[in-house]
Chain A
């Protein structure tokens, strides 16, 4: 299988890598770039544990080939905190107990990033539909909804409580 050379930006850092055309983006992220915060939970694009941002849009990185990210920019959970400051969503998940085993958490947070970018003031119903492509087996979702609301409020500059 002839390999391809691709260039992409991951969390601000430029990478030039040679990959098999069939390599999934999630495996590039985890095994080539060693960004293991992005997880794999299924093989049918149902669970969303592998969700990242590709040019600012949330995508399931198990459903894309690495070559499809050529020339693009990806953000993973490792790239979310800035200057030692947690992103409001990261803070929200901790403050609101929005995670238990933590396995779905990076995907949930990355998905919620785009959700809030598109809709800075979502209702509970909108949040529930917005994260419905991501499965969590531990939390029952109540506190994930709360965490996203916490982040929405914080990003609007409002006072926040868990």
Chain B
């Protein structure tokens, strides 16, 4: 620790201020470059160790259940029979709801901020959106649990269940008692949580559109909506994909807020209002009571590994989409 400090604050500074002292400078430079290498390698090693630890810990579960672990919908701690399907489904479903809700909203905010908002409003709204990102996850959870869930139970879910529930196929999404929580509520809370990240990326993209493009569009008599439709959206498409994936990635791993509102039931249900579970919420719920050497703990670690793989796939997919979009 102290050696690191010396390297950074002592020699590094000296090398800059006394440029003439070449030999010392060269040594310092080598130390500096070495440190940078260390930083880079550190991330790789850390990530590798985490993956290895999760995989190693989850291995007994994979051994016991085989690949069936991925598509078994039971989670029974009593009989020690575990499957990840309910959690995988819940994780992906709730994250998709979050992105579907957050996407149009954040594009609207971003377009408003860059095109329409008077300068007086631009800063307050921008800061407000950024502050949303600074609100701790647990606060969103409490807000969702104490404010949003009761509202959903009283005003949103009962009419939807009554009106849409009887329709075939679509009705399956609107079944069950109005508990307030559930998949949709979790998705809505997460939508608010990922809003600032997606908005920030959109704002950046929209600001990078050459003003000439938009000015010429306005010049030939295009309306605000036409500029939005024909200039901003096509131009921002690549960044949009990136933003969606970034939001999705964040929503996949969200733990605390989801645990509060999702209802925590390890049963598979198509309904938006039914209680469910995500990988992260299950780990948060079950970890403290999972004793060492039990299949339960192994299965939780295996869940962690699966979440890691899902996140990795999402990230890889976004890279691929962004790159192929850039080419075309």
To the question of whether A and B form a pair in one complex, the answer is no
B residues contacting A by CB (< 8 A) are none
A residues contacting B by CB (< 8 A) are none
